[in-house]
Structure 1
Amino acid sequence: MTETTTLTGATLPDGRVRNVVLRHGTVSHISPVGIPDPRQAAIDLTGYLLLPAPAEPHLHLDRALSWEPVGSDAGGRDGAVRSWRAAPTRYDVGDLRRRARAALQVLSANGVTSVRTHVDFGVGAPLRVIEILRELREDLQRVLDLQIVAVASPGLSDRAALEAFAAGAALLGGRPHSSPDPRGETRRLLRLADRAEVDLDLHLDDQPDHRVLAVADLARLLRASGFGRQVTASHCASLGTLRPPALAKVVEAIAASRLAVVGLPSAPLTDARTGRGAHGLAPCGGPTPLRALLEAGVPLTAGGDHLRDALHTMGRGDPLEVASLLVTAGQLSVDQAYAAVSTDARRIMGLPDAGPEPGAVADLLAVRASSLAEAVLAAPSDRIVLRRGRVVSRTAMGKAAGHTRATIGRQRTRVPAGAR
């Protein structure tokens, strides 16, 4: 592709139909529809809505696409975890590399150009997993960004935890609630992140219980410690169990701490047998927590969490599906929902702004739709994905273009040679 490319006849999010000119991986300018310069490359986007490319802020690549070989125990969430831990090949090098690559190709075909993956390591989970994903990150860097969060097991020594960054991790993660001393573990993780000079992204309150509010505790610790790096809390399920007065106080504390929150609307929080969450409480993820966080100015994004594994067997790796859940379950507007899986996700992930705006990075998703509402509702299969101004995926129902073909359900997708 030449250094300058014109996207002709694209429908912008505000409904205008324009030509969008890309130069050196960024959006140069937007102009009225006209005949493009024949000396420059052009892509006809007539009938396509042009959007900022989505970003995936919370995924577990080490488990992705493992449901069929691993299966799922009937014991709800705990049973799913047992199934994964019992899998004899869960960290087989060849299988892990194949599954992770295939999962990233699914995400790329759906429009994602940046992924943050959480990877368990420590007790029972080898450091080699991070090294494999680092190799994959380097291999696919023309197609997408891959951020690796090293989720340290409680009890892992500080020295062993810091080895993750030499192996390729860029952020530190953890599950403080799994420790006998959750507050002590949170303090330790903050200290380790500060020592390694990396951001922190923690799993907190991933099983709803109003008696356990690790996110509130973290917000207080952040204000008291003066920790200066980005801290993100994923899940935060217990917020959905609070009554409005208590919720307002916790949300105020979160906003004051500058903590970012990742909602996971498809997270497997219910027990398969009872339909209720942990401790017999109703599952979280209702509308109040999400809207309350947004209205308080808390940086909020949303992700898919699991992709066709024992914990979420039907995940599609599609940000439009996540946005739809944010509208239906979270009662966000369509604009708020799509922002949560695209521009807001990029900001929380420390990435530059992208989208059809002059000066923005040309990470773009063109989807065959006339409006954002139609795109989120129907999640059309016809998509063109650009990464820094270069087409990395074209997908269409019943037809495909490119060099390497992957089959996703009844949808045929080709990923360019650079994705291999």
Structure 2
Amino acid sequence: MTETTTLTGATLPDGHVRNVVLRHGSVSHLRPVGIPDPGESVIDLTGYLLLPAPAEPHLHLDRALTWEPVGSDPDGRDGPVRSWRAWPARYSTADLRRRARSALQALSANGVTAVRAHIDIGVGAGSPLRAVEVLRELREDLHRILDLQIVAVPSPGLADRSALDAFSAGAGLLGGRPHSAADPRAETRRLLRLADRAEVDLDLHLDDQPDSRVLAVADLARLLRASGFGRQVTASHCAGLGVLRPPALAKVVEAIAASRMAVIALPAAPRTENGTRAVPPCGGPGPLHALLEAGVPLGAGGDHLRDALHPMGRADALEAASLLVTTGQLTVEQAYAAVGADARRIMGLPKAGPEPGAVADLLAVRASSLAEAVMAPPADRIVFRRGRVVSRTAVPRAGTLRSRSTGVLSRQRGRVPAGAR
């Protein structure tokens, strides 16, 4: 690519068609469709919708792509998670590296330019930090196609010193599952203390199943306001909000907004950690809309990718957006913001998209509107990372039609753009 690249004929999210000029990894300016200036590199996006590149704010990358070797033990409420916990001792570092790389490359090909990976530490045989170390290596290897944020998720009972060692190994955030501890409230306080000592942000699994007796996200909101904890805090799942009646929900959401924490909804995960049937993201449409109306930063992610807890998944943010529309009753624009601009903001990433001054992390999909892209995610995509094409996918199309008038079969074929792969 030359210093200046012009994306011609791109359809913007507002429906306007423009030329988008990229310089030095950012969007320089937009201009009406016309002849590019001499010396500019040109990419024709006629027929493509140009969007901010999505981000994946919550993915269990160490478990990704393990469904076929692990399966899911159906015996008992905790069958799926028991299957996973029995397996790490048997997989090799090379296997982990292969699976994680494959998952990251699939995410990149679908348009994602940033991933936040939650990694269990202190689980299984061998080095408790080997998954963190493997992902640190992949972060360096794949930095040209995406940002990789590593969240160390210590198992309850893991010594503080061992948890803090994860940051020397390559982790950048602290996670946790307070509900798995004997005393969830004490575990939440411990994790806040550890994050403060390590000077890292906190991203916790909270209320991943409804329980009217304990609402961890409400406790966390109160703790944050009382303690003055000054770093970014993110709460993932939060399905317990769905058990609250409207007056109680309003009070809890008000506390969440006042605490300045962010929330990640996970619409693709069909089961909870103990294998029980999942509820809609954040407990359903009511909590989602209440969070948005209160101004709480709301992102959405995939959670699990073809593992014991979720055997399916396409590593596609457009799939997550579609599920948010279906199960969360969000608008298409709200749903894409949750996997795009809002997810990026929660992850501390610079603003991206086809507008002047934004980082040129872009996703071009063959669609005429955002609704079309979310309803039926197209395979034809071009992914830009800091203004450079990092992936281009085009699918040849062939269909057999029967003419109503003659009954003769005819074949239609789609063209594959030059240079596509």
> TM > 0.5 between the two?
yes
**What is residue 93 of structure 2 aligned with on the other side?**
93
| Map of 1:122 onto structure 2 | 122
Within 1, Cα distance between the matches of 2:187 and 2:273? Answer: 27
Partner of 2:62: 62
Match of 1:349 in 2: 347
Deviations 1:155-175 (A, max 9, x none): 111111110000000000011
Say if 1:148 and 1:171, in contact at 8 Å, map to a contact too.
yes
Change (3 A) 1:137 1:271: closer
Partners in 2 of 1:272 and 1:184 — Cα distance? Answer: 21
Question: 2: CA distance between counterparts of 1:178 and 1:155?
Answer: 10
Partners in 1 of 2:85 and 2:238 — Cα distance?
24
Residue-by-residue CA offset, 1:118-166 (whole Å, 9 max, x unaligned): 0000143620110000000000000000000000111111111110000
Matched, 1:233 2:235: yes
User: What RMSD in Å do the two structures reach over aligned CA positions?
Assistant: 2.2
Which residue in 1 is equivalent to 2:103? 103
Match of 2:387 in 1: 389
Summarize the Cα distance change of 1:77–1:388 in structure 2 as closer, same or farther, 3 Å threshold.
farther
Counterpart of 1:306 (choices 299, 304, 307) is 304
Cα 1:321–1:223 shift into 2, 3 Å? same
1:245 offset after TM fit, Å? 1.4
1:363 maps to 2:354: no
1:311 Cα shift?
0.6
1:66-118 deviation per Cα after TM superposition (whole angstroms, max 9, x unaligned): 10111111247621111112226554101000000000011001100000000
The equivalent residue for 1:222 is 224
| CA apart distance, 1:30 | 0.3
CA distance, structure 2, for counterparts of residue 168 and residue 262 of structure 1: 23
SS of the equivalent of 1:329 reads: helix
Alpha-carbon contact 1:9-1:19 (below 8 Å) kept? yes
CA distance in 2, matches of 1:118, 1:267: 15
Contact 2:365 2:382 in 1 (8 A): yes
Q: Distance in 1 between matches of 2:282 and 2:170?
A: 34
Q: TM-score, normalised on structure 2?
A: 0.91
Distance in 1 (CA, whole Å) between partners of 2:378 and 2:204 is: 33
Aligned-pair identity (%) = 81
1:343 counterpart letter in structure 2: A
Does structure 1 retain, via aligned residues, the 8 Å contact 2:23–2:387?
A: yes
Give the gaps of 5 or more residues in structure 1: 400-411
**Whole-angstrom distance in 2 between the partners of 1:357 and 1:27:** 6
Which residue in the other structure is 2:404 paired with? none
Counterpart residue number, 1:39: 39
Q: In 1, Cα distance between the equivalents of 2:316 and 2:284?
A: 21
Q: Distance in 1 between matches of 2:97 and 2:324?
A: 31
Tell me what 2:163 maps to: 161
User: CA–CA distance in 2 between the matches of 1:310 and 1:133?
Assistant: 21
Aligned mates of 1:357, 1:154 — CA distance in 2: 45
1:395 Cα deviation after fit:
1.1
Amino acid at match of 1:228: G
The residue that corresponds to 2:79 in the other structure is 79
Residue identity matched to 2:110:
N
- 1:203-352 map, 5 Å: 203-269=205-271, 276=277, 285-352=283-350
Structure 1 residue 283 displacement after superposition: 8.8
Post-superposition shift, 1:324? Answer: 0.6
Gaps of 5+ in 2: 398-415
Instruction: Give the letter aligned to residue 224 of structure 1.
Output: A
C-alpha separation in 2, matches of 1:205 and 1:288? 16
Q: Which amino acid aligns with 1:68?
A: E
Are the equivalent residues in 1 in contact too, given 2:145–2:390 (CA < 8 A)? yes
Paired position in structure 2 for 1:192: 194
Deviation at 1:316, TM superposition (A): 1.0
